[in-house]
């Protein structure tokens, strides 16, 4: 054996030893988690504590000296926390389905793969599942950087008492998936209309003249491609894994800046973290200058509004509902005072939630 191969073997032996230690520590950790779960049951404490998860991730990333990257550390610990939580009781999360869509991927990134995911076929059913207790949390799309706001999600908040407890900001990457391994063998492409629109330039340049068929979701497109040998789907890599398809080409979207924001909804009201966002909705009188006047308290308090969107109320002609996102938490006196001032000039004002600001994943 050469000195070089001998050195490699020694390093691998050290890595194996560390892996054995990690395994032992994970199981010790799991034992403590089971003990915590038993105490929670005795004291009738809610088993899922999002603020505790945030504390763990914040502490570990602050102490991480590298070279292991913080993003990877967060991903690993989300899975550890998700699996640990499942030892107490699997967390039920409902999302716009089917599975293997980008909404499912967003839910996976946030809750980890050990959660019990319940896919439904409409945003309304996501809200209903959380409201009736079939799931503790729901995940719904709210806006895309290219396509704009998801109006139906905004409409659902008008009659729902659910709170926004988190946001997930997902970088959307489309891939060409197929049972084939070369794009020259692809004779038909399936995908959701939105994904097709976002990849139209690539399709015209790389697969000109190939028939394109719309599907109800990117996951359904992957399913169709899995059953049709010479076809392909445009979908995310999670669909490739779920339907055992080859990724012929990655990142085929025409714009690299393609980001979708999702909201996590629940019956809770999250505690302040120090890096929060608050969302409200309100209705005002239809007269010149009314919107300017209603927003003045935010300007005077130097509160940064990160989004404002209007929607017809659908209850009265020319009546509009405004949706506003701002930096800060409702527990902040400045935020609370400004909203109290705004409320005086509104027909209706509702706080949708205060929650930690998301980062692109």
Query: Please, what is the angle between helix 70-88 and helix 50-63, to 10°?
Result: 150
In the beta sheet, which residues pair with residue 171?
259
In the beta sheet, which residues pair with residue 175?
235
What's the confidence (pLDDT) of residue 50? 80
Q: Which two tokens stand for residue 300?
A: 């005077």
Per-residue pLDDT of the chain (361 residues; tens, 9 = 90+): 555 677 888 999 999 999 999 999 999 999 998 888 888 878 877 767 787 888 898 899 999 998 999 989 988 998 998 898 888 778 899 998 889 999 999 999 999 999 999 999 999 999 999 999 999 999 999 998 877 888 889 889 988 999 999 999 999 999 999 999 999 999 999 999 989 999 999 999 999 999 999 999 999 999 999 999 999 999 999 999 999 999 999 999 998 888 999 999 999 888 888 889 999 999 887 777 788 888 999 999 999 999 998 887 666 655 778 999 999 999 999 999 999 999 988 888 999 999 999 887 7
Which of 169, 155, 162 has the alpha carbon at shortest distance from 123?
A: 155
In the beta sheet, which residues pair with residue 178?
232, 246
Non-local CB neighbours of 100 within 8 Å, separated by 6+ positions: 218, 219, 222, 235, 236, 238, 239, 242, 243
Domains and CATH numbers, the chain: 3-88 (1.20.59.10), 92-171 (3.40.190.10), 175-249 (3.40.190.10), 270-356 (3.30.70.260)
Q: What is the pTM of this model?
A: 0.85
Per the listing, tokens 């608050």 go with: 278
Determine contact, residues 358/260, Cβ cutoff 8 Å: no
**CA 267 to mean position of chain CA atoms:** 18
Q: What CA–CA distance (Å, rounded) separates 255 from 22?
A: 41
In the beta sheet, which residues pair with residue 234?
176
Q: What CA–CA distance (Å, rounded) separates 222 from 224?
A: 5
Q: What CA–CA distance (Å, rounded) separates 98 from 117?
A: 10
Q: What CA–CA distance (Å, rounded) separates 95 from 98?
A: 8
Active site residues: 260, 262
Q: What is the CA radius of gyration of the chain?
A: 24
What's the confidence (pLDDT) of residue 169? 94
Determine contact, residues 192/167, Cβ cutoff 8 Å: no
**Residues 72/78/84/89 CA torsion (nearest 10 deg):** -160
pLDDT tens digit string along 175-198?
999 999 999 999 999 999 989 999
């Amino acid at each position: 054996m050469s000195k070089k191969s001998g050195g490699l073997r020694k390093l691998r032996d050290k890595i194996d030893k560390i892996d054995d230690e990690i395994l032992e520590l994970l199981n010790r950790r799991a034992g403590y988690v089971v003990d915590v779960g038993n105490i929670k049951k005795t004291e009738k404490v809610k088993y899922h504590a999002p603020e505790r998860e945030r504390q763990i991730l914040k502490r570990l990333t602050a102490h991480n000296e590298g070279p292991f990257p913080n993003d990877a550390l967060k991903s690993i610990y989300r899975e550890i926390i998700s699996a640990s939580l499942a030892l107490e009781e699997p967390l039920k999360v409902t999302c716009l389905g089917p599975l293997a869509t980008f909404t499912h991927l967003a839910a996976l990134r946030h809750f980890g793969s050990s959660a019990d995911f319940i896919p439904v076929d409409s945003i309304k059913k996501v809200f209903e599942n959380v409201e009736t207790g079939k799931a503790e949390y729901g995940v719904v799309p709210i806006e895309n950087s290219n396509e704009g706001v998801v109006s139906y999600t905004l409409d659902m908040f008008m009659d729902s008492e659910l709170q926004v407890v988190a946001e997930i900001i997902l970088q959307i990457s489309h891939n060409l998936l197929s049972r084939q391994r070369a794009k020259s063998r692809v004779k038909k492409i399936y995908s959701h209309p939105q994904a097709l629109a976002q990849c139209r330039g690539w399709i015209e340049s790389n697969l000109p003249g190939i028939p394109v068929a719309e599907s109800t979701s990117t996951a359904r497109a992957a399913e169709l491609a899995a059953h049709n040998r010479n076809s392909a789907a445009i979908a995310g890599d999670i669909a490739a894994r779920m339907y055992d398809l080859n990724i012929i080409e990655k990142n085929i979207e025409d714009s690299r800046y393609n980001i979708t924001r999702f909201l996590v909804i629940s019956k809770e009201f999250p505690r302040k973290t120090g890096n929060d966002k608050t969302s409200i909705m309100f209705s005002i009188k239809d007269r010149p200058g009314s919107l300017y006047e209603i927003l003045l308290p935010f300007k005077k308090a130097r509160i940064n509004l990160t989004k404002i969107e209007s929607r017809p109320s659908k209850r009265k002609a020319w009546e509009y509902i405004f949706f506003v996102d701002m930096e800060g938490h409702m527990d902040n006196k400045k935020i609370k005072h400004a909203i109290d001032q705004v409320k005086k000039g509104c027909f209706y004002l509702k706080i949708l939630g205060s929650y930690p600001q998301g980062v692109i994943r």
